[in-house]
């Protein structure tokens, strides 16, 4: 009885927090507050507009591949229950009463609060000429529901126009292009992605995207649309000399605006565009009401990125538990993959200053400096120096003229690259490549009490996929024990080396000649290549082994495929790769053939060559404290990526090969 009374009194004494919005930033705020609120002083209630719990909007395009909303969830609904957070989905807040400190939701819930957090995010901006709500075949690209509608409608379409050449617009274009549609991207600016790129980088990106078969229309403003009864849409541009565009569907992605109706009705101070004004404490113009994320205007700036929203969520959570923290400026740095092309914008890359540009085919690198201190950088294509340059911008590091001269000559600014003990790495350097966990994230987790490898793994997810970065976590925690690489890692190096030797033998050993005499032993052996039945057996055995190796590679890439030790799966994948080379010898007798057969053999040889290099690097990257481990970690991702890229032509080539054999 006494325990129940104490429990009730404790519940009454808790401060009530209502979070309006259950997007990425709203969820992150809840998670951070729960982690640092050791005294459990808050009772949290969350209201979300969508039917799903918070999901990863950054990787929204992945939904097209797996068609599973749950794979994008940041947390299942039961997580909220476990954290004692009341979650109301599909129930937006309609009214806020600051005087009584109460909110009213669409479903009729009336909730009191001590602190109200607005994380309402933004909504797509729709130019007046587009009216997707009342015209069939016009869509926006923002939520899971939007993509579901686009996918369903696209089944009866042959062509599509994407209005907007920014990040989301290009992602939408990629989705429609992969669905086999004729795609046009219409951008009002003179080049693509003007918020992240300069004219030259935008031009290079445009050339690359055009080469994929997507048509780009820059400097194009749609003046009006003619929609027919048959479902087609004619886009007419304000430039009379520009030919109109006829398509079956339209996807609009020209920017965002604040989801501000609730804030305006409450009387909160907003700027003309609707963004909610907040101070350095993230408090709005009314006491005990805060705003974080995309709905915010702070010192005249609003951020349409997730990272600044996370910064705000972290700071507000700290302030609510009594810690000193203020929001001064959000980090606008972005590292994106646009249609498979790496696009990086760091700091104030579009500001004026001393510019240094290095350009090669497929790679564009630009630095912006003032008084030899970097203020921004822009990269189109891969650049291993990204973490170091980002760290240099944040730390206001000063460089010498020789560094910039080296950059102009070679494309590299720094001589010091991530290596050695992990403690010397910059905070932005990735420790766990699989989960993209940086050193800074791990350091923050350690400051919050995660002092062991196990706790770091549990908190951040680092080393939970392939485990190769676990020795780095040991270094960070200062544990005296050593982590021995799994036996499977050593075995992987062995089979990869054997594969490499077998591949060399396959390429350089002369073609086997048929025996002319039935009395010779070789006549029995070369029956492998003379007998059509034996050729079929060896051929389909080779095909089966390749399929099994491919399935094993899913161990890391499909979430539900997680049983067994990863190192063992990786070894088995390498072992079967080695076995396919033996099967290849049995099937071909070191004969590369001609025409299609020659192309198929070259593709197979490259696949196995890169696979062998990736296997050697994967097995050696566990040697954390040695130079060998550093080099292996540096090149493993590249070798693996090229290995995967070489796989994709094989199904088509093998299909043609089998068809040609049986048809002719």
What is the average per-residue pLDDT within 265-281? 91
pLDDT in the model for residue 520: 47
3 state SS of 600: helix
User: Each residue of 375-434: pLDDT tens digit?
Assistant: 999 999 888 787 778 778 877 888 999 999 999 998 998 754 444 456 666 676 667 655
What would the two tokens of residue 577 be? 């790769």
Report helix angle 595-620 to 649-663, nearest 10: 150
3 state SS of 25: helix
**What Cα–Cα distance (Å) separates residue 634 from each residue in 74, 483, 500?**
30, 20, 20
What is the average per-residue pLDDT within 18-24? 95
What is the average per-residue pLDDT within 591-614? 73
Contacts of 465 (CB under 8 A, 6+ apart): 432, 434, 435, 556, 566
d(CA 172, CA 96): 36
- Find the radius of gyration of the CA atoms of the chain: 29
User: Each residue of 321-355: pLDDT tens digit?
Assistant: 999 899 998 877 787 778 878 898 988 888 888 99
- Which of 21-30, 467-476, 509-518, 544-553 has the highest mean predicted lDDT (pLDDT)? 21-30
Please, what's the b/e burial string for 149-158 (b: 16 or more CB within 10 A of its CB; e: otherwise)?
A: ebeebbeebe
What is the average per-residue pLDDT within 11-23? 87
Percent of the chain with pLDDT over 90: 36
| Strand ranges for 182-275 from DSSP E | 182-186, 215-217, 222-227, 233-237, 245-247, 249-252, 256-258
| Strand ranges for 240-281 from DSSP E | 245-247, 249-252, 256-258, 276-278
Identify the CATH class of 2-122+258-320. alpha beta
- The larger pLDDT score, comparing residue 22 to residue 384, is at 22
**260: pLDDT strictly greater than 60:** yes
Q: Does domain 138-254 have CATH number 3.40.1350.10?
A: no
pLDDT in the model for residue 476: 73
The pair phi, psi for residue 116, each rounded to 5°, is -115, 125
pLDDT in the model for residue 133: 45
d(CA 161, CA 73): 29
The fourth-level CATH superfamily of domain 359-477 is BFD-like [2Fe-2S]-binding domain (1.10.10.1100)
What would the two tokens of residue 236 be? 């007419």
Mean pLDDT of the chain: 80
pTM: 0.64
């Amino acid at each position: 009885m006494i325990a129940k009374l104490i429990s009730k009194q404790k519940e009454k004494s808790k401060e009530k927090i209502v979070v309006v919005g259950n997007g990425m930033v709203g969820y992150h705020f809840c998670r951070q507050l729960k982690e640092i609120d050791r005294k459990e002083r808050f009772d949290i209630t969350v209201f979300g507009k969508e039917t799903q719990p918070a999901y990863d909007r950054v990787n929204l395009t992945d939904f097209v591949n797996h068609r599973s909303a749950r794979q994008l969830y940041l947390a299942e609904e039961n997580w909220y229950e476990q954290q004692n957070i009341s979650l109301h989905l599909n129930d937006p807040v309609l009214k806020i009463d600051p005087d009584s400190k109460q909110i009213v939701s669409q479903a009729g819930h009336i909730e009191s609060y001590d602190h109200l957090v607005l994380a309402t995010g933004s909504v797509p901006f729709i130019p007046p000429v587009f009216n997707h709500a009342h015209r069939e075949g016009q869509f926006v690209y923002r939520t899971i529901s939007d993509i579901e509608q686009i996918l369903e409608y696209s089944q009866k379409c042959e062509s599509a126009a994407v209005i907007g050449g920014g990040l989301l617009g290009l992602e939408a274009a990629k989705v429609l292009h992969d669905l086999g549609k004729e795609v046009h991207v219409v951008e009002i600016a003179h080049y693509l992605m003007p918020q992240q790129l300069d004219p030259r980088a935008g031009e290079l990106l445009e050339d690359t995207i055009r080469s994929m078969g997507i048509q780009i229309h820059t400097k194009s403003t749609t003046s009006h649309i003619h929609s027919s009864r048959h479902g087609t849409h004619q886009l007419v541009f304000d430039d009379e000399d520009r030919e109109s565009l006829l398509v079956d569907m339209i996807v609009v992605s020209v920017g965002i605006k604040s989801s501000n109706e609730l804030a305006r009705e409450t009387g909160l101070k907003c700027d003309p565009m609707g963004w909610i004004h907040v101070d350095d404490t993230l408090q709005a113009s009314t006491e005990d009401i805060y705003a974080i994320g995309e709905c915010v205007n702070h010192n005249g700036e609003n951020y349409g990125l997730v990272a600044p929203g996370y910064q705000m969520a972290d700071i507000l959570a700290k302030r609510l538990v009594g810690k000193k923290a203020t929001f001064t400026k959000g980090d606008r740095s972005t590292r994106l993959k646009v249609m498979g092309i790496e696009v990086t914008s760091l700091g104030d890359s579009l500001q004026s200053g001393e510019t240094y540009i290095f350009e090669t085919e497929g790679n564009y690198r630009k630095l912006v400096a003032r008084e030899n201190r970097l203020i921004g950088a822009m990269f189109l294509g891969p650049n291993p120096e990204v973490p170091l340059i980002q760290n240099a911008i944040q730390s206001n590091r000063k460089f010498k003229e020789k560094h910039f001269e080296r950059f102009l000559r070679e494309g590299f600014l720094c001589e010091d690259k991530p290596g050695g003990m992990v403690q010397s790495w910059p905070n932005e350097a990735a420790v766990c490549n699989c989960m993209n966990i940086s050193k800074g994230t791990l350091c923050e987790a350690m400051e919050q009490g995660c002092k062991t490898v196990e706790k770091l793994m549990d908190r951040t997810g680092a080393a939970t996929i392939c485990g190769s970065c676990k020795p780095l976590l040991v270094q960070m925690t200062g544990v005296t024990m050593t982590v021995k690489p799994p036996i499977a890692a050593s075995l992987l190096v062995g089979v990869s080396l054997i594969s490499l030797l077998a591949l060399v033998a396959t390429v350089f050993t002369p073609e086997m000649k048929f025996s002319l005499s039935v009395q010779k032993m070789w006549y029995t052996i070369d029956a492998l290549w003379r007998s059509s039945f034996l050729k079929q057996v060896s051929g389909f055995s080779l095909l089966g082994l390749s399929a099994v190796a491919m399935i094993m590679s899913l161990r890391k890439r499909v979430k539900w495929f997680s049983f067994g030790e990863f190192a063992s799966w990786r070894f088995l994948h390498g072992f079967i790769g080695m076995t396919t080379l033996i099967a290849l010898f049995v099937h071909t007798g070191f004969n590369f053939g001609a025409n299609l057969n020659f192309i198929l053999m070259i593709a197979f040889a490259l696949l196995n060559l890169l696979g062998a290099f990736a296997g050697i690097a994967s097995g050696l990257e566990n040697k954390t404290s040695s130079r060998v481990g550093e080099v292996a970690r540096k090149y493993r991702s590249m070798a693996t990526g090229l290995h995967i890229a070489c796989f994709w032509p094989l199904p088509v080539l093998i299909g043609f090969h089998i068809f040609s054999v049986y048809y002719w």
